Structure 1
Amino acid sequence: MRHVLSILVENEPGVLSRVVGLFSGRGFNIESLNVGPTLEMGVSHITICTSGDEQIIEQIMKQLHKLITVIKVVDLTHLQAVEREIVLMKVGAEDAKRAEVLRIADIFRCKVVDVSPDELTLEITGDQGKIKAVVALLQRFGVKEFIRAGTVAMRRSMQLAD
């Protein structure tokens, strides 16, 4: 099962290496990893997407809590959360196809961030389902380049009981 872990850490050298080392040392794969500073000085936020059963994830979370530089760990998998990814995608868009590519981009609220005579570079932001749908529709135009950033996730403010 796919899990999204939200980890607050002290922003100091070697923290990311130690966090990632917990996964690699136990043979667990990281599907995506996103790291960035928070508004609090000296604190960073790590979002890790991984797969495993509940027992494996529980073990990883216990090990993460043991690291001195880890402030907080939350498994967002069973919580209401907002998840987003960003993709930069260069798509073939010669004259005859350009209008259709732009129409698809508009429907999915993609941004055109670069233009050339035969290509468009699109910025696609959304959840995994949206990105998968856009990519599927645009592949027939020829994907020249594709860069996908890892998931960022945040617990929703309003947590309603199921």
Structure 2
Amino acid sequence: MKHTLSVVVQDEAGVLTRIASLFARRGFNIESLAVGTAEQDGFTRITMVVSGDDHTIEQITKQLHKLINVITILDFTDIPCVERELMLVKVNAAPNVRSEIIEISQIFRARIVDVADDFLTVEVVGDPGKMVAILKMLNKFGIREIARTGKVSLTRESGVNTEYLKVNREGIRGALSNL
């Protein structure tokens, strides 16, 4: 199972190296990593996606807490949160298929950010599911390059779990149509 961990650390040289070394020594893989300044000066938020069962994540969390620069760790896996990622995709775009690629981009609310004779570069921002879906649609044209940021997440203060809504959308529609 994939877990999204948000780790706030003191902004000091070598903190990211110590965290990465901790994962490497124990044979854990970081699937996605995003690092940026936090809401307070002197602190950095590291958002990482790691695979493992609950026991493995518990062990990772305990090891992270032992590092002196780690302030807080939050596992977003079962918490309602907002997740976003940025992806740039360079797609083969011969003139005869260019309009189809632009149409697909519009459906996904993506933007064309570069145009060349035989290529289009598409910028996509959204949740990781959106990334997978648009790549599936663009794959038939031939993808030349992909660059992705890591996933970033913040908890939803409203407490609304949109993942629950997505999963249960069909059940809700069915129940409403029976009224």
After TM superposition, the score normalised by the length of structure 2 is: 0.87
List structure 1 runs of 4+ shifted beyond 4 angstroms. Answer: none
Structure number with higher helix proportion: 2
Give 2:140's aligned residue.
140
Give 2:8's aligned residue.
8
Give 2:150's aligned residue.
150
Report the 3-state secondary structure (helix = DSSP H, G, I; strand = E; otherwise coil) of the residue aligned with 1:132: helix
Alignment partners' CA distance in 2, 1:39 and 1:156:
16
> Looking at CA atoms only, which structure, 1 or 2, has the larger radius of gyration?
2
Describe how 1:27-66 pairs up with structure 2 within 5 A: 27-66=27-66
C-alpha RMSD over aligned residues? 1.4
Q: Deviations over 1:43-80 (max 9, x none)?
A: 11100100111111111111111211111100000100
Describe how 1:115-126 pairs up with structure 2 within 5 A: 115-126=115-126
Deviation at 1:148, TM superposition (A): 1.5
- 2:79 matched to 1:79? yes
Alignment partners' CA distance in 2, 1:40 and 1:113:
33
Q: Which runs of 5 or more residues in structure 1 are unaligned?
A: none
Alignment partners' CA distance in 2, 1:158 and 1:46:
23
Alignment partners' CA distance in 2, 1:83 and 1:7:
15
Alignment partners' CA distance in 2, 1:159 and 1:130:
22
Report the 3-state secondary structure (helix = DSSP H, G, I; strand = E; otherwise coil) of the residue aligned with 1:13: coil
Deviation at 1:38, TM superposition (A): 2.0
Alignment partners' CA distance in 2, 1:21 and 1:72:
19
Letter in 1 for 2:149: A
Q: Deviations over 1:10-45 (max 9, x none)?
A: 111110011111211111111111101124211111
Q: Which runs of 5 or more residues in structure 2 are unaligned?
A: 165-179
Aligned length: 162
Deviation at 1:98, TM superposition (A): 0.7
Deviation at 1:83, TM superposition (A): 1.1
Letter in 1 for 2:55: Q
After TM superposition, the score normalised by the length of structure 1 is: 0.95
Q: Deviations over 1:99-153 (max 9, x none)?
A: 0000000000001111112111011111121111100100111111111211111
Deviation at 1:160, TM superposition (A): 5.5
